[in-house]
Amino acid sequence: MANFHALIPAAGSGLRAGEATPKQYRPLNGKPMLWHALQPFRKHSRILRIHVVLGPVDEYFENFDWSEFDPRLQVLRCGGDSRARSVLNGLQAIAAECSPDDRILVHDAARPCLTVADIDRLIAEVGDGEAGGLLAEPVSDTLKRADAHARVLSTEPREQLWRAQTPQMFRHGLLLRALTRSAGLEGITDEASAVEQLGLQPLLVKSSAANLKVTYPEDFRLAEILLRTKSEQS
C-alpha cells in the first residue's frame, strides 16, 4: 500500500506581500500562515508525514510552537532559490523513507484555507492514476490579453481553462524524475507543468472556492475571514 506524504516548500521570501517578514510567518488569527497551511494535513488520517522545506538559514521557524504536529512533522533545511528547486531538494531528502509509489502532496505555504475535504477529494478522484493530479478551479472571469501599456489586445476564450492550485499529488518516483529532467527549463511554475513535460496529463480536481493563495497585502484580511468562518463551522 502506498503511503501519503505532504511536502510544503516554505523557503520563499514573499516579497509581494509587502513586509520584511516572510509571508509564511505573518500572523493570521494569532498563528503564522504556515501553521494554518499544515493543519489540514495534521487532521487527515492518511497523511503519514508532513515535510516542510525551509531555507538553510531560516531564522523564523524556531520562534513558533510546532509541537502539536509531532511526531509527523519533519523539517528539511534544504530549500533552494526557486519553488521547483525546493521541492526537488525535498524529494531527494526524503527518498530513503519513501517508495517510488508513495504519493506526495505538494502544497503552498501561502494557501492557509485548505480543508480536509479538499484533500479527500484529491486523493479519491486521482486514485491510482499514473499521471497524478491537482486541485484547480475553472476560470469564470473574462480574460483579456494586454500590451505593454495595459491596453487590451484581445479577449481570450475561457472555456476549458482552469486556475491551478495545490495540493498537487504525484508518485514520488514520477515527480522526482519530472523535476530532475525539467531543472532549468522555463515555464515550470508548478509540479504539474514538470509532469506534463513527460507527456502525461494530470487530472484536474475541482477545489473549494476558499482555497485562495495569499500573495498581496489585501489577501491577508480575506484569509483571516475565511479561516474564522471555517473555525466557526467546525
Mean pLDDT value of segment 179-194: 90
Average pLDDT over the chain, rounded to whole? Answer: 93
Which contacts qualify for 39-43: CB closer than 8 Å, 24 or more apart?
Answer: 40/114, 40/115, 40/116, 40/118, 40/119, 41/6, 41/105, 41/107, 41/119, 42/68, 42/69, 42/72, 43/116
Residue 17 pLDDT class (50, 70, 90 cuts): very low
User: Given this model, what pLDDT does residue 13 score?
Assistant: 64
Across 141-151, average pLDDT = 96
- How does strand 162-171 pair with strand 203-206? unpaired
Q: Show the domains of the chain with their CATH numbers.
A: 4-233 (3.90.550.10)
* pLDDT for position 90: 98
Model-level pTM? 0.93
| pLDDT above 60: residue 15 | no
pLDDT band at 234, cuts 50/70/90?
low
